Amino acid sequence: MKITYYKLKIFIDSNILITPPENRYCINVSDLRKEYGQKKIALDRISFTVEYGKVFGFLGPNGAGKSTTIKILTTLLNPTSGSVHIFGKEITKHGLEIRKRIGVISQHPSSENNLKVEKALDLYGLLWGIGKQKRKEKVKELLDAFDLQEIRNTKNDELSIGQKRRVQLAREFIHDMKLLFLDEPTIGLDPSARRMLLDYIKSQVKKGLTVFFTTHIMEEAEYLCDEIAIINKGKIIAFDTPNGLKHKYNGKNIIDIKVKDIAAKTILPVINTIAFDDQVEVDSENSFQIKSFNSQQVITQIMEIFSKNKINIESITIKSPSLEEIFLDMVNNKK
């Protein structure tokens, strides 16, 4: 019996099967520090990673270091120390290559004032080297997606603030990019346009786009982000998923109580004997709110003392702290 051996050549795409550690993430920041002069430290050795195809929320109060971080990540500013890799490339060595693959929408408005909306979008595509037919298809897609059809022949300088913002947002999506930086993108947008934008971003993320997102609107972060980092005074003080932050954070629950046939403020002395360590506020004539770490115990005591004093309760509800409340508590506790 004759046995024949065949030699098989196996070709391995190093970008797919063997991935160097630095290529596991779209953004990899390690011990990043930025000083302005000798006294002001804008970023104090922050580290975080952003996975491909995810939305990363970067939250913090004004002056926390968000803008400095974005300027460094978009290669507009050099770090004092530490390292930043984007697409596996070190930013100070491969800035031009990185810039070709990213998009940036800043919180500051910008537009081509003398051009009509459709022409402005087409020009932007031309500057990115997009072919005529593909530009035409992409412009139509964006006019529809951002509700710009009715103003497509209107000059940018004749638009309202909200309309200009929508054009600015649509314009950045004209070219193919792997990573998009959104710095307060919904400023100037009404609720309908805001949701339209967030949903469009979600649709692009499903196609593989990675997004670095800053906002002061916590509902947006909770709706859009896969992971969130909270920065304050140049340091990252929290890093988790929105739900992870809620479960990990030992915050106060909110108790809403509505009473019958009695003014809430008249029973505050009674409430304060029970919730003396908690924050108590009168919401309306017949209702008040208690923020407490021991909500179940407080409710039990309130029901007992209300029963003794013949105070009728119409409703009681308990709510977990929102992302905004967690954010505020974290930031305020770090001051």
For 72, list phi and psi in degrees, rounded to 5. Answer: -70, -45
Q: How many whole angstroms separate alpha carbon 201 and alpha carbon 270?
A: 50
Q: Using N-to-C axis directions, what is the helix angle for 117-127 and 161-172, rounded to 10°?
A: 30
Confidence of residue 2 (pLDDT cuts 50, 70, 90): very low
Is the per-residue pLDDT at 39 higher than 80? no
Structural domains in the chain? 21-247 (3.40.50.300), 251-333 (3.30.70.100)
pLDDT tens-digit series, residues 275-315: 766 678 887 888 888 888 788 888 888 888 888 888 888 88
Dump strand ranges (E) for 61-106.
81-86, 89-90, 102-105
Q: How many whole angstroms separate alpha carbon 208 and alpha carbon 225?
A: 15
Q: What is the pLDDT of residue 276?
A: 65
**Region 82-91 average pLDDT:** 95
Residue type, 184: E
Residue 287, classed as helix, strand or coil, is: strand
pLDDT tens-digit series, residues 232-246: 999 999 999 988 887
pTM: 0.77
pLDDT tens-digit series, residues 181-206: 999 999 889 999 999 999 999 999 99
Dump strand ranges (E) for 129-286.
179-183, 210-214, 227-232, 235-240, 253-259, 279-284
Q: How many whole angstroms separate alpha carbon 100 and alpha carbon 128?
A: 9
Q: How many whole angstroms separate alpha carbon 100 and alpha carbon 87?
A: 12
pLDDT tens-digit series, residues 206-230: 999 999 999 999 999 999 999 999 9
Residue type, 241: T
Please, are residues 220 and 199 in contact by the beta-carbon 8 Å criterion? no
Q: Across-strand partners of 240?
A: 228
